[in-house]
Structure 1
Amino acid sequence: MTRRTRTLLIATLLVVAAAVPAVGAAGTAAQTAPDDGYAGVGESTAALGADDAASAQTGAACEFPVTVTDATGTDVTIDERPERITTLNPSAAQTMWEIGGESQVVGVSQFALYLDGADSRTNVSAAGFGVSVEKVVGTNPDLVLAPNASSPDTVQSLRDAGLTVFHFSGSTTIEDVREKTALTGRLTGNCEGAAEANAWMDANVETATEATADAEDKRVLYPLGGGYIAGSGTFISAMIDTAGGTNVAAERDLTGYPQINDEVVLELAPEYLVVTGYSSYLVGEEPYASTPAVQNNNTVRVNRNWMNQPAPRSVVMGVRTLAEGFHPEAAAEADFATRADAVAAMETETPTATESQPITDTTPETRTTSAGATEISGPGFGVALAVLAVLGSALLARRER
């Protein structure tokens, strides 16, 4: 497959995403990763009452019924602990596995099949992009967890079919991931598991931050293929920062997942490139082959699931791998916590719940950045780009087989 063909393929996928405002991955003001991720307003324990927020954060027993306002502004009421849950994106599925709720999951999307035992669940993905409403309905779920990457039309169709659907907003920061994990635990009756997953994540984030605090930040770029990159204001960029790097995209006000030309890549001159098994071919092609990163053999390879899915294990494994790649000596001396150690050290104090905030929504917009790159932003769009980038990478990966 030629480079031109690859570019056209990813561009086509991104056009599809642009038609889905609530898609999700790392938008400028919003959300996700290649698989999904980003920043939304009101998604998390902020949407819960004080008692519910405290339970979600500390691991206290979840109580039902519970009512939470989702990203569509809908008050979603769950009368009792759901026994059958269908997840519409990989990060939601990964979160369910990490909080101990995998036995409740009856349906997953195709990119979640890497999870242990996920292949025994119904694959609800559509033949093309997105999920099949018919397949989701066929799983007979008590609750559907829909990412910001899910279009409002899909969510509405599922609700019209009589299903209870919670539509998340995006996650652009690690704190967003923490809050979404707690919220997922509260909605599904896994508050204790969510608190444990967050404790594990927080411990590793703290360790990575402290280990690299005195080291000089490495100038990093994460290319997705087709000229697209992970910009600042994204979950991916937050992990890079935590691991002792700095996203060079921020130097040009490149937020979300913009497409940039070869000249801009060379001008940014990243010291390190982050790649996955699906994008590693880029190091042998221009313009990346001429960057200081490739010329000095400074490439860090990360499992795409960890890099692109805003969920607890992604943060733990992603931040660890990045820290080891950027600052190997400091990372070697760091004492990254196991989950068991983190759980044992959990604080028992109940945090003060944050004041409930309204959920807002805006239509994604296109603008031109100072670097001349085209950028699409808006709540929920970022994650979709990441998901599509992963999808495009998966298709392009055939060239590597």
Structure 2
Amino acid sequence: MRPVRKALAGALLGVLALAGCGQNTPQAAATPSPAASASSSSAFPVTVDAGNGKVTIQSRPERIVSLSPTATETLFAIGAGPQVVAVDDQSNHPPEAPKTSLSGYKPNAEAIAEYRPDLVVVSNDNDGIVGELTKLQVPVLVEPSAGRLEDVYDQITDLGAATGHADEAAKVAQEVRSRIEKAAASVPRDAELTYYHELDTTPYSVTSETFIGRIYGLFGLTNIADKAPDAAGGYPKLSAEFIAEADPDLIFLADTKCCGQSRETLAKRPGWSGLSAVKNDRVVQLDDDIASRWGPRVADLAETVGEAVRQATAER
């Protein structure tokens, strides 16, 4: 398994234990509204209930460092992009994000401090980076891997409150929710289709207990990986024999960018050319990044799955 894929799997394995952030509450407000505007400096200080507990941000941050590709996407989606001065080496969306050599997997407090941040966002407290930055009096938000869709919406609003874009964040969260619900409602509930989601060419997959698995669950799909002998943890390594026997109706590839996988490459694998999904052209090439992050573009993933289910159902 490639180093980046290992890191991804490691982060995803912590989903159920780490996921879930609370509501954002402006400090000293007795009964704050979710739409309490943090679009101006008057909304600060604000307290965000993040993965590392309640974090108070005294004033609107103007020098944000994001060490999470998902957080980077979210910050730009809610209008906080101009406040972002540096992002990690894996943050590649949007293209204008100020990408650096900073690492979210092996964070270095001194390197981060060089950007003089007044807010740092991470997805994990790797190497105790939260404590190191706290010593430097830099606020840190931990926004961990999502375990369910509600975590996605919650993290969007977290970042909105933390950056002074609460109203914009609320609109983005609602748009994402609406798009996903519309995509799920667009497919027949009695399709009875099976699927296989490939993380990499090893091949590792995901079960229905993972965040990605729950996305597929919205469409009534049956996950072949749920019956894998080593499904514990949610990321089983499947054998070619197991996949051939299960013969999924749909195959979703989340290793197209990293590993160049496609229907054509699958057909060249021993025993795979006879799979129904390969023969019937039901192999869906996903964007690796969208399929491994839990930001606003998760709606794109849901719409892609919905389209594949509708086509497969219509062809039956």
What TM-score do you get using the length of structure 1 for normalisation?
Answer: 0.66
User: Secondary structure at the residue paired with 2:12?
Assistant: coil
Q: Which has the higher contact order (CA 8 A, sep 6+)?
A: 1
For 1:141, the equivalent position in structure 2 comes to 117
Q: Name the structure 2 match of 1:188.
A: 163
Q: Tell me the distance in 1 between the aligned counterparts of 2:178 and 2:31.
A: 21
Q: Distance in 2 between matches of 1:316 and 1:94?
A: 13
Q: Aligned partners of 1:52 and 1:235: how far apart in 2?
A: 34
Structure 2 unaligned regions, length at least 5 = none
Alignment correspondent of 1:236: 212
* Residue among 36, 55, 71 paired with 2:51: 71
CA contact (8 A) 1:221 1:274 kept: yes
Alignment of 1:108-257 (within 5 A): 108-118=87-97, 121-126=98-103, 129-148=105-124, 150-225=125-200, 226-252=202-228, 253=231, 255-257=233-235
Q: Distance in 2 between matches of 1:153 and 1:290?
A: 49
Bigger drift between 238-247 and 166-175 goes to: 238-247
| Separation (CA, whole Å) in 1 of partners of 2:271 and 2:161 | 46
Conserved 8 A contact 2:204-2:238 = yes
Q: Does 1:309 align with 2:293?
A: yes
Call closer, same or farther: CA 1:297–1:27 in 2, change over 3 Å: farther
Q: Percent identity?
A: 25
Residues of 2 paired with 1:168 and 1:61: CA distance?
19
The within-5 A match list for 1:71-110 is: 71-73=51-53, 75-110=54-89
Aligned residue runs from structure 1 range 55-66, under 5 A: 55-56=33-34, 58=35, 60-61=37-38, 63-66=43-46
Closer, same or farther: CA 179–162 of 1 in aligned 2, 3 Å:
same
Question: Cα gap change, 1:136/1:124 in structure 2, threshold over 3 Å: closer, same or farther?
Answer: farther
Find the residue that maps to 1:198 and give its secondary structure: helix
> Do the aligned residues in 1 keep the contact of 2:184 with 2:306 (CA within 8 Å)?
no
**Alpha-carbon displacement from aligned partner over 1:120-140 (angstroms, at most 9, x marks no partner):** x251434x9544433321111
Counterpart residue type for residue 72 of structure 1: N
1:298-317 per-residue CA deviation (whole Å, 9 max, x = no partner) reads 111122222111011x2221
2:247 aligns to what?
269
RMSD of aligned residue pairs (Cα, Å): 3.2
The letter for the 1-side match of 2:48 is V
* 1:224–1:272 CA distance, 2 compared to 1 (3 A): same
> What residue ranges of structure 1 are gaps of 5+ in the alignment?
1-6, 31-38, 332-401
Alignment-derived partner of residue 296 in structure 1: 280
CA contact (8 A) 1:302 1:322 kept: no
| Cα deviation, residue 251, structure 1 | 3.7
Counterparts of 1:132 and 1:50, CA distance in 2: 34
Which residues of 2 match residues 46-61 of structure 1 at below 5 A?
55-56=33-34, 58=35, 60-61=37-38
Separation in 2, partners of 1:186, 1:296: 47
Rounded Cα–Cα distance in structure 1 between residues aligned with 2:30 and 2:45: 11
Structure 1 residue identity aligned to 2:215: M
Q: CA deviation at 1:89?
A: 1.2
Change (3 A) 1:76 1:205: same
Q: How many residues align?
A: 302
